Structure 1
């Protein structure tokens, strides 16, 4: 109980009964209860309309009226206050009728003890409090359910739709009646998707978040991100919230197409630039053969020019193909410490020439991963060479670390160079993108391709004047 007294209204036309109940309440706890009296139906209705009491004790017999009439008045007001009905001994039919009409409890006059009255009041107040909390939560849920922009559907594991919010009806083009007659599998565009959905939601996990395709009544496909969770395991009822991502996916596809055009255009411009120079040399050499006859010694010079530039063009095309194509891998078990050391060994001459200090922080016990040794070493070597070229000779520090994160092997390569500008980071792995005067721009493209072919990831972090860190993550189990 709270520090404030419990306000009770007793509706009874017998003053002796009022006095008796008042004494019982004083016996329970003096000052804990404030009891008011309404001796008539009209006075009772007047007090009830004011809604100032916490609980009501109502005698069944009130002259021409009954306690059931009082309960009906509560219903008309939609006032859900706890009501305890006082009945005569043996009035079991009346007791049942009172409970059906909304009474919290009933007590038999002449048999009421202080403990019994206190317990009945306490239970009725607790029940009323719990019902209010439930009602408030229901109102909150109903508000979210009705006003949410996402599609919300309640269903059971028999695949029957139990309820759907306005957003679901609006987006799926069904009426409420049509939706409630649907089997949920009819909303899935692909049969394998609804099978996957129900295997997960009705399985052990009882929750999921996956992208699916829904089908509207008009036959239009909706791309949706579905989050679902089981609400009642006994009844096997689950809540399904579907976010319509159709427009977002369309915009992403358009953006990807635009990016493809941008990349394709950039590659085309670089190829045109790289190939045009040797082609110009070839054409100039060929033009010499079209003019005056040249002696054999001079013609050999022009033939060499043609051959050298044709070879250059062939090399450019080969490098481009190797840097971007899916490759065949010779997978064998190798340690990440072992692979990293081999890449450092190949870069040893450059490290010494530039007086670069190397810090190694390896795992004490090497992690074995499935890898193509030659290709992974090349990928690491490309990053190491870039780091060497980025640092000031005599002041450079190269830090190489290996570690394990769950089922992933991680290799980080850090330098203390000037860092990579933000606008360059976005294009770092693009074919032919380079900041080096004589670079082809295919080294990091090739590195990324090798890592991706090993089902791994590569990520770069860099801050101006704070150096750069490349992180390669490779799966331990392939």
Structure 2
């Protein structure tokens, strides 16, 4: 194939592509664009090819996330980078959602350019937002149920704590009597032991009922996972493995960092108490732009009949547990605009999927 025919084929492919395509040289100059890109970004072919991408896009503050994504691709040299970002078309002033996928052009070891594919996914994003609103409404009902439970739990804890303390106190005084038979002493010690268990239950319920509303900020995924690993190491001398790439760990979610770590540690506690001695945290991004933080253990798993009830209050299969840890974890995650589901394939441990919308890392 001669050179002129190659150019004609290339030109025809570029002009017929539904996806926008941009090639940025290592000096920041936009060297190749196609018609679809001009339509999506709202700039003419001449504007795109005669200006540096920095000068062209950084002049509009409302497109900061789009600009940040470009910077991230170039500075980190990310191959197969995929991100959804909002974008305002400067011609129509319309709000859009764009999907960005990157690659690189190289000559040997030298980077010669960045290839960026741009797709308008506004319609799919709007459909997702409608689905999220329905999910949010469902979560509101669940939170209202949880709030009702919290009020009931606080009332019960208050009503039960004082009688327990009285029972335990009077029993301790009776145990000091030298006239007690051995049989009576054993019975009183059982009362003390059972009172202690009840006090533990009351304290757990009171802690759940007193959980404050989240103080939301920007939480970097990688930093939060580091905190979870550190807390697990300190509590159990166990270091969870992490399976992710740098781009996903650099993403942010909106939430209360302290509460989210507390929720994750309830999941870790549940795994270790069930007999797991290995944990792995896997981070992934969905096609809809959400972030999944998956916590997997190598324990015995959760029985098929038990799985629907593990987030219910006081549900536990452990003899000395209260059964509020996963209830609280779910409540925290729902309060922080997330969702949680669990799965446990036979013989493969358990995995908890924590799902959050991605948020800008800057306020």
TM-score by length of 1: 0.39
The TM-score, its normalising length taken from structure 2, stands at 0.48
